[in-house]
Structure 1
Amino acid sequence: MFRLQNGLRLSRLLETGSTLPRLSRNFGYTVILPEEPFVYGVSHITQRSVPQHILRPNYAGGSPTVPEDKNGKVQLGGDAERRLRGAATLARDIRNFAGTLAKPRVTTNEIDAAVHDYIIGHSAYPSPLRYSGFPRSCCTSVNNVLAHGIPDDRPLEDGDMVCIDITVYLDGYHGDTAQTFLVGTVDEPGKELVKVTNAALDAGIGACGPGRPFSEIGRAIHDIIRDTSFCVSPHFTGHGIGTTFHRKPWVIHDLNDEPEIMRPGHCFTIEPCIIEGKTPTCWVFPDGWTASTEDCARSAQAEHMVLITDSGYEVLTR
């Protein structure tokens, strides 16, 4: 989720008529850039169909079947928690399945098609599809793409890294998770980037618990990466999740002084984007979604859903 700044969603950094950024160094991997001439928006992308019998979220033409969890919490110990766990478990299984597809010569569009079929085959709806107009059923972010990469017909190459972000809507609840997968033989810096990203996620999770401030998540991630050659993107946050896809609490991954406290029933994602180097800036492709590092350095992302309980926390997508 793009980070909220001054109450506005950061939706596009690339203005109409802009040219591509100047690349200032050599790369040992393929840099992902939009094709020129630019095509603005995503209306030209054909969306996959979902059978009518599958329950869908209201933004995709459905109607709510359970009340929205507007207070940012899920009722523990009952049907709501059961449904939430079911959605999280399905998302985890599909994430693991998608990772087996991340191989050289496979296109991200082929991965998206397989993910879509898996989701609807389990009577669930692919949450990204039609969310604010997003045209695919999952996000696939390759190499320098930070987040929200749109699956396309470019084949993955040996040495690529691809983050596959899966969200499903099952039984009225969303389940959300992501992992960066290595494609073929990736160089040692790339492997280290993924390793540190997963360590940062684990550190953020370890800072969770009832009565603890959300700001400790960002502090824990900071402590993991401060003495490395990496940095965390400040442009994306974790988010509350349940009957709605994105809602409070917003989970900031860098140092912050947010005052909100974790309470039993809070369910949210932690999903840091970690970047090679110390330049945490980004820009968005003309499609309005694909966010790249500004200097085209590689990034990696990993995401889990965390549920705060009366005595601690549980990771629902592990």
Structure 2
Amino acid sequence: MARTALKTPREIEAMRRAGALVAETFNVLEPHVKPGVSVLELDQIAEAFIRSHGAIPAYIGYGQRSNPFPATICASINEVICHGIPSPRKLREGDIIGVDIGVKMDGVYGDACYTYVVGNAAPAVQQLVETTRACLQAGLDAVKPGARTGDIGAAIQKLAEERGYGVVREYTGHGIGRNLHEEPTIYHHGRAGTGLVLQPGMVFTIEPMINLGRPETRLLPDGWTVVTADGKPSAQFEHTLVVTKDGYDVLTLPGHLTPASPQPRA
């Protein structure tokens, strides 16, 4: 495993501002997440808002040169677990849509995901969303100096499986900073007391993907979109956080947005 770099106070504050922009983008999108609105429209709204604050959407052009991601947001509807590509598809009553947003601002990244419920969803789907949110909180609550990365995954897995849900294995949380993906890898399943020891200054994401059915996944031919193998819905929530001397501090919250330096269009 590559060495995990600890972030400086200046880097952490810059990441807090980038994270605040991510959080504010979710707030801007929320009134538009309703039946009849196309996913492409959500993508356009997010891109315009991010660029208006001098930041760059982190996902546009990300990945292999032969198949870069083409949009600002990952938009994962119903059975799509992650990395859904925005399309002209219009949202329908009862859909759920996981919106994953990354930005680069002043040389550092912010990254988070929120699952919206479109109108009124079936009770089983609503419960899935609420449990996934609770799984993220369970993972956060396991973070403190001296804990291990396995403690995070174990807490998430225990809660999800006790409620009868499947935990996606193949896609993980990750370190983040001046690169979108860094060490360490954060699994959402595992055994407590194993893995890397957490230290103050580590910055990473926790982003559980929880399935209404089994945990198995399937990658679609576009090379990006990941769906549940059994076709049942999946939900995801994600925060970027820093390990502190007392526990953790979430960096992807609103309220810390300040003007950033202008950046070129990607």
Relative to the length of structure 2, the TM-score reads 0.90
The secondary structure found in structure 1 opposite 2:242 is strand
The secondary structure found in structure 1 opposite 2:47 is helix
Q: Deviations over 1:173-199 (max 9, x none)?
A: 100011100001111011100000000
**Structure 2: runs of 5+ lacking an equivalent:** 254-266
- The match for 2:6 among 49, 52, 73 is 73
Equivalent residue pairs, number: 248
Alignment of 1:273 onto 2:206: no
Question: In 2, distance between residues paired with 1:315 and 1:193?
Answer: 23
Alignment of 1:146 onto 2:77: no
Shift >6 Å, 4+ stretches: none
Matches within 5 A, 1:240-251: 240-251=175-186
Q: Deviations over 1:188-235 (max 9, x none)?
A: 011100000000000000000111101000111122122212111111
Q: Deviations over 1:63-93 (max 9, x none)?
A: xxxxxx9743211x3x212211111111111
Question: In 2, distance between residues paired with 1:163 and 1:220?
Answer: 22
In structure 1, what residue type is equivalent to 2:222?
D
**Structure 1: runs of 5+ lacking an equivalent:** 1-6, 8-68
The secondary structure found in structure 2 opposite 1:239 is strand
Q: Please say if residues 98 and 164 of structure 1, whose CA atoms lie closer than 8 Å, have aligned partners that are also in contact.
A: no
Q: What RMSD in Å do the two structures reach over aligned CA positions?
A: 1.5
Q: Deviations over 1:250-290 (max 9, x none)?
A: 0000124742111111000000000012x111111111000
* CA drift at 1:116: 0.3
Alignment of 1:169 onto 2:104: yes
Question: In 1, distance between residues paired with 2:56 and 2:229?
Answer: 33
Matches within 5 A, 1:1-318: 71-75=4-8, 77=9, 79-132=10-63, 133-256=68-191, 258-277=194-213, 279-318=214-253
Q: Please say if residues 239 and 251 of structure 2, whose CA atoms lie closer than 8 Å, have aligned partners that are also in contact.
A: yes
In structure 2, what residue type is equivalent to 1:88?
G
Question: In 2, distance between residues paired with 1:170 and 1:127?
Answer: 9
In structure 1, what residue type is equivalent to 2:42?
I
Question: In 1, distance between residues paired with 2:228 and 2:107?
Answer: 35
Q: Please say if residues 201 and 244 of structure 2, whose CA atoms lie closer than 8 Å, have aligned partners that are also in contact.
A: yes
Decide which structure has greater helix share.
2
Q: Please say if residues 210 and 310 of structure 1, whose CA atoms lie closer than 8 Å, have aligned partners that are also in contact.
A: yes
In structure 1, what residue type is equivalent to 2:196?
E
Q: Please say if residues 284 and 292 of structure 1, whose CA atoms lie closer than 8 Å, have aligned partners that are also in contact.
A: yes
* Counterpart position of 2:259: none
Question: In 2, distance between residues paired with 1:137 and 1:265?
Answer: 28
In structure 1, what residue type is equivalent to 2:58?
S
Question: In 1, distance between residues paired with 2:123 and 2:50?
Answer: 34
Relative to the length of structure 1, the TM-score reads 0.75
- Structure with max Cα Rg: 1
The secondary structure found in structure 1 opposite 2:249 is strand
Question: In 2, distance between residues paired with 1:181 and 1:253?
Answer: 21
Q: Please say if residues 234 and 254 of structure 1, whose CA atoms lie closer than 8 Å, have aligned partners that are also in contact.
A: yes
In structure 2, what residue type is equivalent to 1:239?
H
Q: Please say if residues 95 and 165 of structure 1, whose CA atoms lie closer than 8 Å, have aligned partners that are also in contact.
A: no
In structure 2, what residue type is equivalent to 1:270?
I
